[in-house]
Amino acid sequence: MVNLTRIYTRTGDQGTTRLSNNQLVPKTDPRLEAYGTLDEANCAIGAALGLGDPGPVLCEVLSILQNDLFDVGADLSTPLDHTGPAVRIGQAQIDRVEGWCDQFSAGLPALRSFLLPGGSVASVWLNVARTVVRRAERATWSAAESIPVNEAVIRYINRLSDLLFILGRYANTQAGCEEILWAPTAPDSQTEREADVWAPVAPESQDQ
């Protein structure tokens, strides 16, 4: 159990910090960039929860994902050769995310183009979280070039960005917001562009 008795410690004033196993490393260590970026993504998910009113189903999923992200950060901050107790991401967490991908995408319409982020507040913040998670994935791959990293962590992060994209679409559907598709700049008519706007069916009629 983590026991935070004081937030400021002055121990990082020389540009160093400690990993979970108490190993001293510079703050430029690529693992810090990776799990610091995941912390940023977690904050974006928190904004989706706090500002977006996503409903009880999404709230439960997003709350679990927030806790998972702390697990991922703990994994990244504990060297793989550490012999003591350690929080590790495994296949079970990946399977759960993939299951949610299947569950929440089942009722969504097929996409004919990329989506322009927007719509409900929850969807907007979930898309912010998605792009931050993508950046975290790149940072984790960068760390893995020089430091051993749990491969399950990278797979989890990759699946998470997919899930956040799907949940953003789901949030818009639940809010009754239209999805705007990317229309590549071309001499298309306005009518053709308007055809790329999808208005979702009201949530209560989807099961009919």
Residue recorded with tokens 């990759």: 158
Instruction: Residue 165: name the closest of 105, 95, 89 by CA.
Output: 105
Structure tokens at 68: 């998972």
Q: 12-30 pLDDT, tens per residue? A: 667 766 766 677 776 767 8
What CATH number labels 23-110+118-177?
A: 1.20.1200.10
Dist CA 192 CA 194 (whole Å): 5
For residue 36, what is the enclosing H or E element?
helix 30-52
pLDDT class for 153, splitting at 50, 70, 90?
Answer: very high
Kindly report the pTM of this predicted structure.
0.82
Q: 28-77 pLDDT, tens per residue? A: 678 889 989 999 999 999 999 999 888 899 999 999 999 999 999 999 99
